[in-house]
Amino acid sequence: MKVEVYDTTLRDGAQTQGISFSVSDKIRIAEKLDSLGVHYIEGGWPGANPKDVDFFKKATKLKLKNSKLVAFGATRRANTDVAKDATMKGLLCSNVDVITIFGKSWDLHVKEVLKTTLDENLKMIEESITYLKSKGKTAIFDAEHFFDGYRENPSYALKTLAAAERGGAAKIVLCDTNGGTLTSSVFEIVKEVKEKVKTPLGIHAHNDSDMAVANSIAAVQAGCVHVQGTINGYGERCGNANLVSIIANLKLKLGVDCISDISIKELTETAYYIAETSNMKLGDNQPFVGSSAFAHKAGVHVNAIVKNPRTYEHMDPARVGNRRKLLISELSGKSSILEKAQEIDVELDKEAPETKRILKLLQDLEHKGYHFEAAEASLKLFMKKTVKKLKKFFELKEFRVSVEKRTKGKIISEATIKLKVNGKLEHTASLGDGPVNALDNALRKALKDFYPSLNEMHLTDFKVRVLDEKAGTEARVRVLIQSQDKTDSWWTIGVSENIIEASWQALVDSVEYKLLKDSEKNLRQRRIRLRRKK
């Protein structure tokens, strides 16, 4: 069985609160989606805004290898000549071969939103598709609010599909626009519709009831051969169906041909890339691709996973480009330490003094307030430092942070840092919105000429927790910092009675981890090149 994957991240996903794509953002995402191998990329609504007009001008020049670019719009307006309709003109000006239009399939919308007759709405659907076809376009029809319409007036909802079919739609997509339909109903309705409609069916689900992925899978099982959604589930209100989970479930659980065996391994990297480009944080607990999707805490789970990963994992994380994580805490035993050491390429023996030392140090640090299960990047650095396997990327000499409140002005933070890098002393200063931001700016300013890849990373989250509130201002604080680059996201930690010191510890770890990650990647690439030469 083959199913087409239709991505609407650039249109529906752009309606997410907090997302505002530039034209260059949309171009980059389109190229990444093409690399993943989705069949259709819906670019936006040409004519609706200048940004989408500009996007289609530039996007049609892209040399897409796997995907077809799609323009999106509505049917003609009521009581309007289709050839003179502004939406139709805008769609044709996009210069793409595939156009998706949506039309009302719920009589409630026809009467109360369009303020027209039921018969006129049917003409709007049929004439719009016929017109696009006459211009040499492949037309896909999105039956908006279909499931709500079918429940209240099944006869009319089916008439809208028949109108699209008469017009020559290549696909008819059943939309759960309000996201309120239950999975069992989706399955039953799709089965019923499939018996009455010859045109291949698709599904477009929203996530307002947290059912969008399940509803999409059920629709495919009921006969849909075309599935729409967005990467990471971006979209208005509660979002659209998450294509990441849909692709993984279709390909790996149902054996459906939707993307290639090679591309499925790029799923995690694609999810992070598009989250980064969207300026959004990828959820740690996002199924399949999140950093916690295959994370196991110490105890029974870790012990079982070491013996056989199938005991607590529904699939091999490598199949989607993710990886297993064994979380280390004060509950850890030697088996967890050894497994983690092997994961980060540190040779340890169960009875070796280093193993016992690492375990003892971890327990002491956790007692002081460190929380390594939430900061795996700091854990990796700690273990490599303990066994003296970590390169010293830079050496801090001193830093100073000042905070100034000017009259009728905002608070300004300034950080000054002295570092030694490769034997050279660097002395820099930088401003920031707060002391941590100023420190981050100053640190990267001092290192950017030595390590240009630091320009790829930025801080995405900052958390502070007071560990002993009864101690008042002398209490220890724990700072967690999340950082992100084009492919990964990681957490680091610092603990101190001084919040600036704790922040500095976590900040330095975040930078060191990025540099370690890059150096390991470069080493792997050199080894591959050497093997090829041999």
The mean of the pLDDT values for the chain is 91
How far is CA 74 from each of CA 102, 104, 142, 184, 526, rounded to the nearest angstrom? 5, 9, 9, 29, 53
* pLDDT tens, residue by residue, 381-414: 988 888 888 888 999 999 999 998 876 778 889 9
Q: Is 402 left (phi over 0), alpha (psi -120 to 50) or beta?
A: beta
CATH 3.30.2130.10 fits 394-450, yes or no: no
Give 127's pLDDT tier (boundaries 50, 70, 90).
Answer: very high
Query: What whole-number distance in Å separates Cα of residue 466 and Cα of residue 434?
Result: 19
> Is pLDDT at 415 greater than 90 in this prediction?
yes
> At how many degrees (to 10) do helices 50-59 and 86-93 cross?
30
Q: What is the pLDDT of residues 15-28, one digit of tens each?
A: 999 999 999 999 99
Please identify which residue in the block is written with the tokens 């939103």: 113
Whole-number percent of the chain with pLDDT over 70: 95
| Mean pLDDT computed over 94-108 | 97
Q: How many helices (H) and strands (E) does the chain have?
A: 17, 16
- Using DSSP's 3-state secondary structure scheme, residue 439 falls into helix
Quick: pLDDT tens for 291-338: 889 988 756 777 788 789 999 999 999 999 998 877 765 445 666 677
Q: Are 22 and 10 in contact (CB under 8 A)?
A: no
Distance separating alpha carbons of residues 366 and 73, to the nearest angstrom: 56
Rounded average pLDDT over 494-504: 92
Place of tokens 């499931």: 147
Lookup: tokens for 501? 């010191």
Q: What is the domain partition of the chain in residue ranges?
A: 4-259, 295-368, 394-450
Q: Above 80 in pLDDT, residue 478?
A: yes
pTM for this predicted structure: 0.72
Q: Has residue 37 got a pLDDT over 90?
A: yes
| 200 alpha carbon, distance to own chain's centre | 29
pLDDT at residue number 472: 57
CATH fold for domain 4-259:
TIM Barrel (3.20.20)
Token output for 527: 């080894």
Beta bridge partners of 400: 416
Tokens of 250: 């279709």
When mean pLDDT is compared over 142-156, 301-315, 408-422, the highest value belongs to 142-156
pLDDT reading at 350 higher than 80 = no
What is the Cα–Cα distance from 164 to 400, expressed in whole angstroms? 68
- What's the whole-number mean pLDDT along residues 180-203? 98
As a dihedral over the C-alpha atoms of residue 222, residue 223, residue 228, residue 232, rounded to 10 degrees, the angle is 40
